[in-house]
């Protein structure tokens, strides 16, 4: 798994498809005369103060010469005040020693410092396979995802999966579990948007008998049920802001406290979370805790929407036809119907395609799939225009649809001959090659570009 060391120490404006956090992090001055100054924390302790001997020298006259030390101790980062005159504060409270997490801020003198992870962009190679467990795809985006999943599944790293509804986030979480050393343990799904707000702490962490009205017996929560395995926190972006600190404590302590209990119970779980929201944007809007985001996004993957990998539609259609044809002889789909599916915008993504093919298989009486009755009456127009999206995003999707269909037909007619196709299209060979790779047309095995065509 290749990576590009970008030493990112703040939220990226445009999130790449895959990122991961490296060990340690970076302290950044966000307020005070030295704003913008920063120091990386690795294995060696760093010091803050006005003395030239400090790791981060501050010109703030209210900062002591040797003011503060930060040191990694296992997975924790510990701050120790070195006997400063004016003290060190977190949220207005003075401290001598304190453990800090990513996103945490502290104040020394008139200077405010923030601790952020070093986040690097991961650029996986393309897997040779067109599947990862029950996940299917030959698009470059999917084959890169498969390669990344092969690598991270063997670890215990917390993973955040972002993607639209119906794109397969739960399936990814399940395959991560199935390919991990924890595959013999439980896989527990908890939908953060489906549980009433007043019951969510009990459902997640458990409760003691009599702790609230209706608590007639002790109950284990989802974390305890997942002990030894994996817990999948679906729709994590729906978790109320005031409930997020409780989840953060569990992730930090690896222990849960049942509602009504005064003690913590250790849990051994791997956490995978998913959301259809842009959590970075939610953090910036103060709708999601920054420290919780960083705790979840140790590895962050973005699952592409089906419209972004339209070349996978025939592959998925064939898979679903085999799955749902039942005892019938093998059904077929006309080329015209396949093009209708390719042009469809699929706001419901792979789940929508699966439902369409399942309905079509049930309704079909002859040798061909009955797509007319299976497609929703309000299916998107032929061009696939999404009027439910902002203009710029809808336009971008339409341009991508045009590019894909143009390049697919162009290369098919020229039997994947790059030179001949570039001449007819009157575009640069290098640009055409980039488009070919973008839409997964550098077919493996037969049909690929030969050396004389490259």
Tracing tokens 């050393």 back to the chain, one arrives at 181
Please write the tens of the pLDDT for every residue from 268-326: 999 999 999 999 989 999 999 999 999 999 999 999 999 889 899 999 999 998 888 76
Low-confidence winner among 129-143, 146-160, 173-187, 337-351 (lowest mean pLDDT): 337-351
CB crowding 16-48: b at 16 or more within 10 Å, else e? bbbbbbeeebbbbbeebebeebbbebeeeebbb
Low-confidence winner among 8-12, 294-298, 347-351, 398-402 (lowest mean pLDDT): 8-12
Torsion of CA 118, 36, 284, 287, to 10 degrees: 80
More confident residue, 108 or 377: 108
Question: How far, in Å, CA of 279 to CA of 430, rounded?
Answer: 36
The per-residue pLDDT for 380 is 46
Question: How far, in Å, CA of 388 to CA of 294, rounded?
Answer: 31
- Mean pLDDT computed over every residue of the chain: 86
Mean pLDDT over residues 181-191, rounded? 96
Question: How far, in Å, CA of 128 to CA of 146, rounded?
Answer: 9
Neighbours of 178 (CB within 10 A): 15
E-strand stretches of 137-248: 159-162, 187-191, 206-207, 219-220, 230-234
Is the pLDDT at 245 greater than 70, yes or no? yes
Contact of 20 with 143, CB cutoff 8 Å? no
The per-residue pLDDT for 288 is 96
More confident residue, 424 or 184: 184
381 to 137, 257, 343, 373, 385: CA distances (angstroms): 25, 52, 8, 16, 7
* Nearest alpha-carbon partner for 168 in 147, 140, 142: 142
The per-residue pLDDT for 328 is 56
- Please report which confidence band the pLDDT of residue 359 belongs to, taking 50, 70 and 90 as the band edges: confident
Question: How far, in Å, CA of 382 to CA of 329, rounded?
Answer: 30
The per-residue pLDDT for 377 is 55
79 to 22, 97, 245, 351, 415: CA distances (angstroms): 20, 6, 21, 48, 64
Residue 137, judged by CB atoms within 10 A of its CB (0-12, 13-18, 19+), counts as buried
**pTM, whole model, 2 decimals?**
0.76
The per-residue pLDDT for 430 is 83
Question: How far, in Å, CA of 19 to CA of 407, rounded?
Answer: 30
Percent of the chain scoring above 70 in pLDDT: 89
Please write the tens of the pLDDT for every residue from 124-133: 999 999 999 9
Mean pLDDT over residues 55-82, rounded? 95
The per-residue pLDDT for 403 is 83
Neighbours of 112 (CB within 10 A): 16
The per-residue pLDDT for 14 is 53
* Nearest alpha-carbon partner for 88 in 57, 56, 64: 64
- The DSSP 8-state label assigned to residue 277 in this structure reads S
The per-residue pLDDT for 327 is 55
Encoded tokens for 316? 């998925």
324 to 93, 191, 330, 372: CA distances (angstroms): 62, 27, 10, 17
Is the pLDDT at 244 greater than 50, yes or no? yes
What backbone torsions phi and psi does residue 110 show, to the nearest 5 degrees? -100, 10
DSSP code per residue over 336-393 = HHHHHHHHS--TTHHHHHHHHHHHHHHH--SSB---TTTS-TTPPPTT---TTS-HHH
* Nearest alpha-carbon partner for 49 in 39, 41, 57: 57
Contact of 310 with 266, CB cutoff 8 Å? no
Please write the tens of the pLDDT for every residue from 363-402: 877 777 878 777 765 554 445 566 666 777 778 777 877 8
Is the pLDDT at 158 greater than 60, yes or no? yes
331 to 318, 351, 353, 357: CA distances (angstroms): 10, 20, 16, 11
Length of the chain: 454
More confident residue, 348 or 365: 348
Mean pLDDT over residues 317-337, rounded? 81
Encoded tokens for 99? 């453990």
Which of 190-204, 387-401, 410-424 has maximum average pLDDT? 190-204
Rg (CA), the chain: 26
Residues 6+ apart with CB under 8 A from 342: 310, 313, 314, 405
More confident residue, 180 or 42: 180
């Amino acid at each position: 798994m290749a990576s590009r060391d970008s030493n990112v120490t703040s939220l990226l404006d445009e999130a790449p498809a895959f990122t991961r956090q490296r060990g340690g992090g970076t302290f950044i001055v966000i307020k005070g005369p030295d704003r913008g100054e920063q120091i990386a924390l690795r294995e060696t302790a760093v010091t803050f103060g006005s003395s030239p001997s400090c790791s981060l020298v501050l010109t703030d006259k209210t900062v002591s010469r040797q003011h503060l030390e930060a040191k990694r101790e296992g997975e924790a980062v510990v701050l120790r005040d070195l006997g400063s005159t004016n003290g060190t504060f977190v949220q207005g409270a003075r401290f001598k020693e304190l453990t800090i997490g990513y996103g945490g801020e502290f104040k020394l003198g008139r200077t405010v410092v923030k601790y952020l992870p070093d986040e690097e962009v991961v650029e996986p190679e393309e897997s040779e396979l067109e599947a990862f467990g029950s996940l299917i795809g030959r698009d470059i985006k999917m084959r890169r995802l498969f390669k990344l999943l092969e690598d991270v599944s063997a670890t215990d790293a917390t993973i955040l999966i972002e993607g639209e509804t119906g794109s397969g986030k739960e399936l990814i979480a399940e395959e991560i579990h199935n390919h991990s050393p924890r595959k013999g343990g439980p896989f527990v799904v908890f939908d953060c948007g489906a549980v009433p707000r007043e019951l969510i702490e009990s459902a997640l962490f458990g409760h003691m008998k009599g702790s609230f009205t209706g608590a007639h017996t002790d109950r284990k929560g989802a974390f305890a049920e997942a002990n030894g395995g994996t817990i999948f926190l679906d729709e994590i972006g729906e978790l109320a802001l005031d409930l997020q600190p409780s989840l953060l404590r569990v992730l930090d302590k690896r222990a849960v406290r049942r509602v009504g209990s005064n003690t913590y119970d250790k849990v051994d779980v791997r956490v995978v979370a998913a959301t259809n929201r842009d959590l970075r944007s939610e953090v910036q809007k103060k709708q999601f805790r920054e420290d919780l985001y960083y705790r979840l996004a140790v590895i962050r993957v973005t699952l592409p929407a089906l419209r972004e990998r339209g070349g996978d539609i025939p592959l998925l259609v064939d898979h679903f036809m085999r799955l749902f044809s039942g005892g019938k002889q093998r059904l077929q789909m006309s080329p015209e119907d396949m093009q209708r599916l390719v042009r469809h915008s699929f706001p419901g993504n792979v789940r929508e395609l699966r439902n369409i093919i399942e309905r079509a298989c049930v309704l079909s009486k002859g040798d061909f799939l009955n797509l007319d009755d299976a497609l929703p009456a309000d299916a998107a127009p032929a061009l696939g225009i999404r009027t439910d999206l902002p203009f710029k995003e809808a336009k971008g999707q339409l341009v991508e649809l045009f590019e894909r269909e143009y390049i697919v037909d162009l290369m098919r007619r020229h039997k994947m001959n790059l030179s001949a196709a570039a001449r007819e299209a009157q575009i640069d060979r290098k640009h055409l090659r980039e488009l070919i790779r973008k839409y997964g047309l550098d077919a493996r095995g037969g049909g690929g570009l030969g050396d004389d065509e490259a």
